[in-house]
Amino acid sequence: MRIVEEYTDLNADLIEIESAHFIGDFAIRIIFKDGINRLVDFKPFLASSLHPSIKKYLDEEKFKAFDIVDGNLNWNDYDMIFPLEDLYAGRV
């Protein structure tokens, strides 16, 4: 029997947010650690959601209260969070 082990560089494709700035009308300018920046419009997602825990973020003050935690946007201790791959692509 032959056992083969393969190792990959776990940090090779790591996507992380460096900074994020609320622009207005539920849009956030996101700058990633690799220098890519995206303007992501969250309004269509928020407006089309039927779930009250998402709809509450149509209150602009609640929406603006995001933090960057472990390289990702985070609202109210993981109450709302998005896949980094989607944010990197500029969509939600």
Integer Cα distance of 84 and 92 in angstroms: 10
Q: What is the pLDDT of residues 37-83, one digit of tens each?
A: 999 999 999 999 999 999 999 999 999 999 999 999 999 999 999 99
Q: Any idea which architecture 17-89 has in CATH?
A: 2-Layer Sandwich (3.30)
- pLDDT, residue 12, reads 55
- pLDDT, residue 36, reads 97
Strand order in 37-41's β-sheet? 17-24, 27-32, 37-41
- Which residue type does 36 have? I
Give residue limits of the domains in the chain. 17-89
* Per-position DSSP letters for 28-90, written without gaps between them: EEEEETTS-EEEEE-HHHHHH---HHHHGGGSHHHHT-EEEETTEEEETTTTEE--HHHHHHT
